[in-house]
Structure 1
Amino acid sequence: MRQSVITSRFIALMVCVSLFSLSWGIWGHQHINRAAVFALPDSMRVFFFNHIDYLTEEAAVPDLRKYVIGDQSEPDRHYIDLEKFGDHPFDSLPETWDAAVRKYGEKKLHEAGILPWYIQQMEQKLEQAFRNRRTDEILFIAADLGHYIADAHVPLHTTINHDGQLTGQRGIHAFWESQLPELFGNQYNFHVAPARYIPDIQAEVWKIIRHSHQLSDTVLLVEKQLLARFPKNELYRKDADGNIMKNKYGQLIFSYAFAKAYHEALHGMVEDQMRRAIQELADFWYTAWVNAGRPNLTELDDASLTEANKKIFKKAYRLWQQGKLWGIHSGSEY
């Protein structure tokens, strides 16, 4: 695979993505994958930066498989409805896939969503790709893994009331994970700590899921309370004729004033979850590489590619240290 930060081959693919509402939205997924590259150690960062455009644009491809291709095996990889496992799911859910199958059966697990177990499977596949030193496989799996780790940080991906359909709040899913980042994400800080080794992948995955699920009630309750007291005529964005506007998916678009009020009432939750996703993704990539024996990644690229990107790499890394991302122009859904 030949891919540099200067060349992009996924423009047409991204046009297809824009036809569908995606988890975290195109904006969120692309920023998470891109930012995670810079948190890697030097021995990984140069290789990943050489392919940063691919990793960025590929971030939304799992949703393409779900919506464009209609891959029937894809949808349940993006969520887990924890309520389907009782009032205290974390007390009874096995951390490993085999143990979960023995306890609940595959049918029930797929109906409830398999996100935490699928992340574990993808981590193992990435480790094997590193071990085999196969560039295409490393990049493909690393980008995909970023998508699912990002999904695990969206609170509404862990609850049966995933779009507020049970509480009269339809549309909150895309509002939280797409409209808010698009409106306020340019103010976010994308700098995180250097990638850290994860000693127990299973435990780490479930720590992520537990934290996200703990936030799901707040996501719903804060919006419901705000809806009750916000002026109804100021709730949605309107065109010049006074008609309520809709996004490309036919969803009502909340006004900037309401979005700002909700974003502030969440006290930084969206930014915090995005930063957590960036950190975890870098940690997962790094852990897979270490477990594979720390293969020399610089040997996988032509030296001329690394040399061509050297100057722009330094600029991009300095910007990331300031909390900013260089060279990303994500599509807008709102």
Structure 2
Amino acid sequence: MRPKLIAFFALIIGFFTLSWGIVGHERINKAAVMALPQQLQVFFYNHIDFITQEASVPDIRKYALNYKDENPRHYFDMENFGSVDSIPQTMEAAKKKYDAKFLNDNGILPWYIEDMMAKLTKAFKDKNRAEILFLAADLGHYVGDAHMPLHTSANHDGQLSDQKGIHSLWESRLPELFAKNYKLNVPQAHYYEDVHKAVWDMINDTHSLAQPLLDIDKKLRTATPENQVFKMDTDGKVLKSKYNTAVFSEDYAKKLHEQLNGMVESQMKKAIEATASFWYTAWVNAGKPDLSDLDAPSVTQRNNQALKDDLLLFKKGDLFGLKNQND
């Protein structure tokens, strides 16, 4: 799929996606490229526009194309799986323990990330250029989802606590309003000795933020008049979007963002570092193949100075200064 077509579809779903939104996912993938070690970074930078724009394709499959298998890949309703010790370790074990409806309803995100890692490792071993790029970009999307606290909770949109709308407010609206001020520089990617442990540590860490997030929003909503929580129409009723969802006021979004005390930015930075580290780990586990011959030397040479310049900007946290920024 060509980048322009991807961008077109991404714009279509950007208004209703429940998954970091275009703002979040594109920045996570783009910054992850900048966090890679040099041996891997050169190849990824040659394709940074694709890696960035393809970040939203899993949501296109989910919403615009309605792929039936896509939906449960994006979440994991952890509370519904029982004690942590009882959760199956692999996708195969999960399918034996739970029926298809249960997994579709409650999600398969951590197992799917592990499966994607196995596929990406094979693509690196095979030096399959197209597969590496598609799988890496998709993996970045799911790792991004795994850092959104409500993607790990049964109360994923506050529907169980009278807080509907919190999901898209937290992961789409807040980044749209405030990501321009985020400093998204992170440490260089590191190797995961145990991919399985890394995935579940990530899920557990993210899930630990779900209830605090909901508590902060609940307290603020309770203390704020409805006409200040939401935008109101000319009749004094809560304004609804074209998707029939309540539209939060920018003032409420600002107050919530402040009370979350950096949570959105912190989770985005964790997602960037984890994405780069999973990519790097797959490459190392594939035997560190030389990818320099997958692109014409002229392509790498043409991008050489831009990469150096963008690395300097990235290290300052100035993601929006990247030469390849197309937002």
Q: Tell me which residue corresponds to 1:114.
A: 108
Q: Tell me which residue corresponds to 1:58.
A: 54
Residue 20 of structure 1: CA displacement?
3.4
Instruction: Determine if the alignment matches structure 1 residue 76 to structure 2 residue 72.
Output: yes
Distance 1:320 1:85 in 2: 39
Residue identity in the other structure for 1:251: T
Distance 1:113 1:97 in 2: 11
1:67 aligned to 60, 63, 66, which one?
63
Q: Tell me which residue corresponds to 2:26.
A: 30
Residue 176 of structure 1: CA displacement?
0.5
Distance 1:59 1:248 in 2: 25
Q: Tell me which residue corresponds to 2:10.
A: 14
- Identify if the C-alpha distance between structure 1 residues 21 and 249 changes in structure 2 by more than 3 Å, giving closer, same or farther: farther
Distance 1:11 1:201 in 2: 31
- Identify if the C-alpha distance between structure 1 residues 120 and 223 changes in structure 2 by more than 3 Å, giving closer, same or farther: same
Residue 235 of structure 1: CA displacement?
1.8
Residue identity in the other structure for 1:170: K
Distance 2:236 2:92 in 1: 56
Distance 2:5 2:68 in 1: 26
2:163 aligned to 162, 166, 169, which one?
169
Distance 1:180 1:247 in 2: 17
2:282 aligned to 282, 288, 300, which one?
288
Q: Tell me which residue corresponds to 2:325.
A: 328
Distance 1:36 1:310 in 2: 18
- Compute the RMSD of aligned alpha carbons: 2.0
1:310 aligned to 283, 304, 307, which one?
304
1:236 aligned to 218, 221, 230, which one?
230
C-alpha offsets along residues 139-165 of structure 1, whole Å, 9 cap, x if unaligned?
000000001000011110111111111
Residue 243 of structure 1: CA displacement?
6.8
Given the two structures, how large is their TM-score scaled by the length of structure 1? 0.91
Distance 2:71 2:305 in 1: 41
1:261 aligned to 245, 255, 258, which one?
255
Distance 2:162 2:149 in 1: 18
Instruction: Determine if the alignment matches structure 1 residue 222 to structure 2 residue 222.
Output: no
C-alpha offsets along residues 45-86 of structure 1, whole Å, 9 cap, x if unaligned?
111011001000000100100111110000001111112122
Residue 18 of structure 1: CA displacement?
3.1
Distance 2:279 2:268 in 1: 17
C-alpha offsets along residues 99-130 of structure 1, whole Å, 9 cap, x if unaligned?
33344455533332100000000000000000
Q: Tell me which residue corresponds to 1:147.
A: 141
Q: 1:32–1:146: 8 Å Cα contact kept in structure 2? A: yes
Distance 2:23 2:273 in 1: 17
SS of aligned partner of 2:157: coil
How does 1:78-117 map onto structure 2 within 5 Å? 78-86=74-82, 89-117=83-111
1:213 aligned to 188, 207, 210, which one?
207
C-alpha offsets along residues 264-288 of structure 1, whole Å, 9 cap, x if unaligned?
1111111111100000000000000
Aligned length: 324
Distance 1:145 1:120 in 2: 10
C-alpha offsets along residues 187-236 of structure 1, whole Å, 9 cap, x if unaligned?
11111111100011111111111111111111111101001111333222
5+ residue gaps, structure 1: none
Q: Tell me which residue corresponds to 1:277.
A: 271
Residue identity in the other structure for 2:29: N
Moved over 6 A (4+): 239-243
- Identify if the C-alpha distance between structure 1 residues 108 and 11 changes in structure 2 by more than 3 Å, giving closer, same or farther: closer
- Identify if the C-alpha distance between structure 1 residues 123 and 229 changes in structure 2 by more than 3 Å, giving closer, same or farther: same
C-alpha offsets along residues 166-191 of structure 1, whole Å, 9 cap, x if unaligned?
11111100000001111111111111
Residue 238 of structure 1: CA displacement?
4.9
- Identify if the C-alpha distance between structure 1 residues 11 and 149 changes in structure 2 by more than 3 Å, giving closer, same or farther: closer
Q: 1:8–1:53: 8 Å Cα contact kept in structure 2? A: no
Q: 1:29–1:59: 8 Å Cα contact kept in structure 2? A: yes
5+ residue gaps, structure 2: none
SS of aligned partner of 2:41: helix
Q: Percent identity among equivalent residues?
A: 48
Q: 2:46–2:303: 8 Å Cα contact kept in structure 1? A: yes
SS of aligned partner of 1:10: helix
